Amino acid sequence: MGSVRAANTVGRHRRVDSFAVMEYNDKRELKRFNSVVWSMGATQSMRQYRNIEGDTVMHIGKTMKVAFAAAAAAAMVVPLAACGGGADSGKTKLTFLSWSNEQYMKPIIDKFEEKNPDITIDFNYSPPVGEYVQTLQTRIVGNQAPDLFFICTENKSNIIDNDNALDLTNEPAVKNLSEANKEYLTKDGKTYGISVSSWESGIVYNKDLLAKVGADSIPENWDDFLALLKKLKDAGITPYLEPVDDVPKIFQAFLGAKYDLAGDTEAEKAIFEGKSTFEKEWTPELEQWYRLWDEDLVTRDAVGIDGNAVKTQFLNGELATMTTGPWDFKDLKSSNLNFGIAPVPALDGGEVYGAGSPSPGLAIYSKISDKKLDAAKKFLNFYISEDSLQVQSDNGDAITATNFSSKVIPEYEDVYNNGLRKSKYYLSMNYWTKSPDVLQQEAKAQAQQVVQGAITPRQAAKNMDAKLASLS
């Protein structure tokens, strides 16, 4: 596939010194660079992205030097174009800035180009999360927007609100989206991206350790689950751990169940519309999650333990249960542990739900037209075809499009079939319409203080309200 190319990722591993040697030929070029710097800013949080195999990639930190270096590089980047003449002569060319790397996307693009010999895809890749968002924004601001790109939680409000994504509501591809995936990239009744897969975390448990206290699975009720943890602790077994490095997943599952039972599709958006508060929406569920520490079932030292440390304890047979998702399945399957995966238990009067999110969605730049637009729509609809979805499933994605079913590991089948396939999962950030990265970091800090006993769950929720107010 000669038309697929891996571009340099903007700003990654690039020395800041490169800024000093860049030259600007005229004032217009310098002005363009300044606009790029301004659009990117220097507040992007340090993020990690874990792929389906558990590999971890570290991205841009929040220093002005990195942001300026990335902007300097981006200002000089031009789209990778095929040379005139040759095999691509006369073809419609689409530029594509991908969230997934060339190894992942190449088979999909190859199949598409085979079926559409009059179209060629000019492929560029930038790794998620922060670097991808910045690269896409830089290209849009610099009038070099790709014809095809991905929308994610971190950039969807900006992309949609600024009319950079085409309204796809009437495209055939939308008909095969699951309810949650469609809702994820829909605003005011219009759908702007095609999200075909999702992830959902669950309670992973060591069957042999549970058997020591007479249990063979995770209870579906939260009170019963806490009672099981107490039995495990009384037997000298570490019952449960979770890293307190994000909005707590069990807590988010509780929120999702509450909104689903109430038929409330607005969920936490109401907070940002001034109709509700974090204190009102969060407090009851956060108090339930905090029972893990309030009832002395989990060590408060969990604040200093990251996800890899928790996983290591589990893989060593030293931990009975933990919360995780598909990113750890490769390590779990290679460990030879006798393990199972269960949905998050339900609160009394609630329902079994999960913490999870749709994947980023493929979008079309709103400013293209004529042959480019027709070609882009063809690729969009191919992206959700069986040929494409099979490639994505083979790469480990849990497909949630209604026209396909993934083969997942046996331990995950219950969560996949009764959670993901039925859109029974929830992620708070997907409903935060303002500064989601900033609020995520604040939520992490508040959760850590709750675990340490420094503040109550209600106070943590009040602090989230104060943080949101400060962003106005």
pLDDT at res. 35: 38
This prediction has a pTM of 0.78
pLDDT at res. 347: 97
The string of DSSP codes covering 352-410 is -BEEEEEPPEEEEBTT--HHHHHHHHHHHHHHTSHHHHHHHHHTT-EE--TT------G
What does the alpha-carbon distance between residue 362 and residue 170 come to, in Å, rounded to a whole number? 15
Given a contact cutoff of 8 angstroms between Cβ atoms, the answer to whether 113 and 121 are in contact is yes
What does the alpha-carbon distance between residue 59 and residue 468 come to, in Å, rounded to a whole number? 25
What does the alpha-carbon distance between residue 420 and residue 406 come to, in Å, rounded to a whole number? 11
pLDDT at res. 136: 97
The string of DSSP codes covering 202-243 is EEEEEHHHHHTTT--S--SBHHHHHHHHHHHHHTT-EEEE--
pLDDT at res. 304: 81
What does the alpha-carbon distance between residue 243 and residue 340 come to, in Å, rounded to a whole number? 20
Given a contact cutoff of 8 angstroms between Cβ atoms, the answer to whether 42 and 63 are in contact is yes
pLDDT at res. 449: 97
Pick from 151, 38, 458: nearest CA to 288:
458
pLDDT at res. 415: 96
Q: What is the pLDDT along the chain (472 residues), one digit of tens a residue?
A: 444 433 333 333 322 222 222 333 333 333 333 333 333 333 333 333 333 333 333 333 333 333 433 444 343 333 333 333 455 678 999 999 999 999 999 999 999 999 999 999 999 999 998 899 999 999 999 999 999 999 999 899 999 999 999 999 999 999 999 999 999 999 999 999 999 999 999 999 999 999 999 999 999 999 999 999 999 999 999 999 998 988 999 999 999 999 999 999 999 999 999 999 999 999 999 999 999 999 999 999 878 888 899 999 999 999 999 999 998 998 999 998 999 999 999 999 999 999 999 999 999 999 999 999 999 999 999 999 999 999 999 988 999 999 999 999 999 999 999 999 999 999 999 999 999 889 999 999 999 999 999 999 999 999 999 999 999 7
What does the alpha-carbon distance between residue 192 and residue 167 come to, in Å, rounded to a whole number? 5
